[in-house]
Amino acid sequence: MQKFPSLSVRLHGGLTPQQCVEQAQAAEAAGLGGSWFAENPFHRSTLPTAGACAAATRTLRIGAGVFNPYGRHPTLIAMEVGALDELSCGRVSVGIGSGIGFAIERMGFAYDRPLTTLREATIILRALLRGEEVNHCGAAFRVQKVRLDYQARPDIQIFMAGRGRRSLLACGELADGLIVSNMCTVEFAAKAVKILHKAALNSGRSKPLEVVQYIPCIPRADRSEAQRLATQAVAKMLPDYWMLGQRLPAAKQAMLEGSGISETDFAAAVARLKAGETAEAALDERFAHAFTVSGNMEDCRTKAAAYAAAGVTELALTFSGSKPAADMRFMAEAMTG
């Protein structure tokens, strides 16, 4: 029998809180297991929305983040996540990452040691959620005699987002799971999972770590319609991710790995999009195939199975079409049919 990852809905600051609540309720009704609330600098904050979705659902898991420890101090993350978990009656996980460097710098922070900052933030966050008094004097944070004034659930799962080898090693050592960003191929995810699991084993951790893959999802009975819409979804993300790849080699490699698209082809596609060409003119079918779950039911099953084989345990799907509730039902049926 074919194995598939569990399914969640990815919500984000590009949606209004009301739209997020509607999608969260639709996800729960369709039988999806969870929701992840992606937060990027200068978009809508996800915490009010996550709280509203927690109150509007009963069983849906609430994944808060990815938060960065520059805009949110780890003590503040602990305060907020613990309270959100109480509101949801124990359904919350939290994602933490070093953030988008050029956006962090625009806020006035020095982005000179992101991995150190992420490691220290994770250590502080874990200890606070466990009810410990934290005394930490590190390169990024100095915390003295800090303890939460209420008892949070001590086993709230902490996920780390990352692409680079050192980030993946830190995740395997410290976190409960990994979040893999949009615009990362199946082949990249497979390599990341191997590094993650080896790091966990070397750190004496026996419990398997979870791996969440963010990815757009455009399921349609009509394969050509799905291809067109998937190409448009990739076109919206590609210029920003390609610019990020010029600064972070790991981000570029995550797009190139196994995609069948050369660096020259990526650069040419971005240039054409910036020149005003349509997504369909600038991008061929390789882009939709590499960076979306799209197509008819069998296409979606095949792609989901490929991620499962790579070691991904959960697909956090962005439903950007006009009928997200119908798309969620389509995917739920595809994974159980």
Q: Which domains does the chain have, with CATH numbers?
A: 6-235+293-336 (3.20.20.30)
- pLDDT at res. 102: 65
Token pair belonging to 154:
């001590």
- pLDDT at res. 158: 98
d(CA 294, CA 189): 18
- pLDDT at res. 113: 87
In this structure, are residues 84 and 64 in contact, taking their beta carbons and an 8 Å threshold? yes
> Per DSSP, what are the bridge partners of residue 177?
159, 210
- What's the average pLDDT block by block, 10 residues per block, for the chain (337 residues)? 93 95 98 93 89 98 92 95 98 89 70 88 98 96 96 98 95 97 98 96 90 98 96 97 93 97 98 98 98 97 98 96 94 91
Q: Which residues contact 322 (CB under 8 A, 6 or more apart)?
A: none
The DSSP H or E segment spanning 84 is helix 74-87
What residue type is 183 in one-letter code? M
What residue type is 251 in one-letter code? A
- pLDDT at res. 65: 81
- pLDDT at res. 100: 67
The residue among 35, 127, 24 whose CA lies nearest residue 75 is: 127
Q: Computed over its alpha carbons, how large is the radius of gyration of the chain?
A: 19
- pLDDT at res. 333: 96
Token pair belonging to 292:
């979306």
